[in-house]
Amino acid sequence: MIQFEALFKISYGLYIVSSGNKSKGNGFVSNTFFQVTAEPPMFASCCNKDNFTANLIKETNAFSVSVIHKDTDPDIIGRFGYKSGKDTDKLSGLNIKYGETGVPIVLNDCIAFLECRVVQTIDLGTHYMFIGELIQAELVDDTKEALTYLHYRQVRKGVAPKNAPTYIDKSKLGENKKGSGLKKYECTACGYIYDETEENIKFIDLPDDWVCPVCGSEKSDFIEIL
């Protein structure tokens, strides 16, 4: 038996993985980045094949990883987590540094970054796993704590987007409803659920300038769900 709730006990960080170059760069929010060997220091990053950044990593054979902190601006998560770089220049207006391989490194809300050169690409069906040798690492701000996936889910009420390795279809989770007449509203951009049974204010009574606490989308981007 597979009880999908068990998977929430696995710990992850949250990162912006970027690739490309000065003329064409992109990045995405990832929770699957981790060290795989110590000598030499090598790291793995999983990336959905549909992801625009996956193609840039294949082209440039390199990627950067920005570790973001707990109070990261929701706009950063919304921009990199729930929008595609096919339609928009995600790096526009941000504080970007270019690495030794020429890949962009996002410095906004970043407490540390790493740059890796790809040495192996593993086909995992829906995803690629890029194995990269570390060529640069810098601690930017030691005073702030890294954002973890647990904090993102529990405190910021975020959910994994559909192409994340850790995406879980809600129908696979056990239900635990309170029959109350209160409603739920879902952010069409990021999937965040505003659940009136857990809030002090009805969705309709939220101010017009209220935005999604996860991705910064507007109130009008929400739909009522069953």
- Residue 36 in contact with a second copy, rule: CB under 8 A: yes
CB under 8 A: which stretch of 52-60, 109-117, 202-210, 216-224 binds a second copy? Answer: 109-117
Q: Rounded to whole angstroms, how far apart are CA atoms 13 and 158?
A: 13
Calculate the dihedral angle through the C-alpha atoms of 138, 139, 145, 147, rounding to the nearest 10 degrees: -10
First to last CA, the chain: 27
Q: Which of 50, 73, 122, 170 binds a second copy (CB under 8 A)?
A: 122
Nearer Cβ to a second copy (88/126)? 126
Nearer Cβ to a second copy (146/211)? 146
117 strand-pairing partners: 62, 133
CB under 8 A: which stretch of 120-128, 185-193, 195-203, 213-221 binds a second copy? Answer: 120-128
- Residue 38 in contact with a second copy, rule: CB under 8 A: yes
Q: How far is the CB of 67 from a second copy (least distance, A)?
A: 4
* Cα-trace Rg, the chain: 18
CB under 8 A: which stretch of 89-97, 126-134, 204-212, 217-225 binds a second copy? Answer: 126-134
- Residue 190 in contact with a second copy, rule: CB under 8 A: no
- Residue 4 in contact with a second copy, rule: CB under 8 A: yes
Q: Cα separations (Å) of 137 from 71, 109, 113, 115, 150?
A: 22, 16, 6, 6, 25
Q: How far is the CB of 121 from a second copy (least distance, A)?
A: 11
Q: How far is the CB of 91 from a second copy (least distance, A)?
A: 21
213 strand-pairing partners: none
Report whether 214 contacts 222 (CB < 8 A).
Answer: no
Binding track over 40-79 against a second copy, x by CB under 8 A = xxx-x-x--------------------x------------
Q: Which of 166, 183, 196, 213 binds a second copy (CB under 8 A)?
A: 166
Lookup: tokens for 67: 């570790």
Three-state DSSP class for 194?
strand
Provide CB contacts within 8 A for 170, sequence distance 6+: none
Q: Rounded to whole angstroms, how far apart are CA atoms 33 and 15?
A: 8
Lookup: tokens for 124: 């995992």
Interacting residues toward a second copy by CB under 8 A: 1-7, 9-14, 32-42, 44, 46, 67, 111-114, 120, 122, 124-127, 129, 131, 134-140, 142, 146, 148-150, 164-168
